[in-house]
Amino acid sequence: MASASRPIVLSGPSGAGKSTFLKRLFAEYPDKFGFSVSHTTRAPRAGETNGVDYNFVTREEFLAGVQRGEFIEHAEFSGNLYGTTVQAVKSVGDKGRICILDIDMQGVKLVKATDLNPYYLSVQPPSIGELEKRLRGRGTEKEADIQGRLAAAQGELDYAKEEGAYDKTIVNDDLEAAYAEFKAFINKVTA
């Protein structure tokens, strides 16, 4: 299989800079990457298209897929099921794009149990103190939520230290330098 079709898993603590990197990457390469389309049992909202915004399915269809082992992960939020199938990730590659999965450590472990064979990339803050500063600076979370993210961050960093957990780790200290390192890795594995 051509290496260009292997997905890329991007992980690391909340606030480490994953979205910042991806925003820049997608702006630089608008046609090269894509995200998988999730499945959901919630009803489509006005303007949403099946297969584009979500794969809209019934609860029965969703649960049958789970039974068949088709989902990488799934969860229930306010009465509706949401999840990602292995096929949804493969479909991105079938359309000639490289699928990027922006997921946490639990997600990484689940992806490792599939046959997707992605590259695993960890983005890390220079320190927990700096991470806290950035999360506060972002201003998108309430105090309790920030504490939860900081508590989870240590677990993410410990997991990343395990042998073979990631193919590459980038410490996002100076943004320009870190983004350059990120881009170089992506370009190398998608060349």
Q: Helix, strand or coil for residue 117?
A: coil
For residue 145, the tally of other CB atoms under 10 A from its CB is 12
Binding mask 97-126 for ligand ATP (x = CB under 6 A): ------------------------------
Torsion angle, CA of 165/154/128/121, rounded to 10 degrees? Answer: 20
> Could you say whether residue 138 binds ligand ATP (CB under 6 A)?
yes
HSE of 22, CA atoms in CB hemisphere, 13 A = 19
Q: Nearest-CA neighbor of 39 among 84, 89, 91? A: 84
CB of 114 to ligand ATP, least distance (A): 22
> Could you say whether residue 16 binds ligand ATP (CB under 6 A)?
yes
Quick one: 10 or 88, whose CB is closer to ligand ATP? 10
* Listed ranges 44-52, 57-65, 87-95, 130-138: which one lies at the site for ligand ATP (CB under 6 A): 130-138
> Could you say whether residue 20 binds ligand ATP (CB under 6 A)?
yes
d(C-alpha 61, C-alpha 39), whole Å: 10
Contact positions toward ligand ATP, by CB under 6 A? 14-20, 134, 137-138, 172, 175, 178
